[in-house]
Structure 1
Amino acid sequence: MKISNHFYRTTVRALLKVLGCCGILLLSILHAKAQTDKRMIRIAQIEVDSTQLKEYNAALKEQMQTAVRLEPGVLTYYAVADKKDPSRITILEIYADSAAYLKHIATPHFKKYKATVEHMVKKLELVDVNLIGSAKQPGL
């Protein structure tokens, strides 16, 4: 069976296109990984005076919403309360990089939050972490 020049050229071109697309995809993945590696991810574990929990939660929500709205380097905030002890709060914070975090803690809204809650917080532990994986439903 003889393969025509046209078929051969068409097949080679198609193969080169596929390899080119694979190369672009690989570069995109490597670029995304490099971007992820720059992110600063922190978990804040906070114990709040239970008699001031409502006021603390309001100040926290205001600070988080303001930061995400005004600061492009503040990527994500998740704050959760322990179901058995709502005064134990855990916050997941994700910043574009450590420079974005440093900029964040110098903002007026963050300083206002810190001044407002300083007498409400009984304990604060900050833990810097590395992302090892993530999964979410599409569209979330």
Structure 2
Amino acid sequence: MKNIIYYLIILCVLGGCKSFTRTDLQSNCGNTFEVQYIKNGKYLVSKKERAKNYLNIYFLSNFNDQIKININQKEVFNKEVITDSTKFDTYSAAFTYKLSSSENKYIMKGYSERNKTCFEIPIDTKYRIIYFYYYQNKWIIRFSNEIIIN
């Protein structure tokens, strides 16, 4: 019986519910930001939806700021984002970006007016959802195909 319990614990640790990788990077504004890639999840975007070439971008936690987002040097978002810090993983701002059939590389740049922080990162187009968090004075950019259901 003990061996079975140890085996299950090892499976949970190795497999986990959500498998993701995480990397810390330095921005050209001088701050550190974190990039996460969620490999799987409970509610995944269907293959049919992923084929439509749209990115859905959500602002989740701890934003109370004017946020600017550029993709390939074109401004695609410039609004004040106020998130509800009492409800984790609920979004107050979102936008959709259509990927071009003629371009195959996308560089996303984000900037926070109040906090004077930024990030610059290539978009991994295998993922159709990008979640933004601002936690402990750091941007967190999460690439995912998982839809958050509240």
Report the TM-score when normalising by structure 1. Answer: 0.30
Q: Higher helix fraction: Structure 1 or Structure 2?
A: 1
Q: Higher strand fraction: Structure 1 or Structure 2?
A: 2
Choose between structure 1 and 2 for higher RCO, CA contacts under 8 A separated by at least 6 residues: 1
Larger radius of gyration: 1
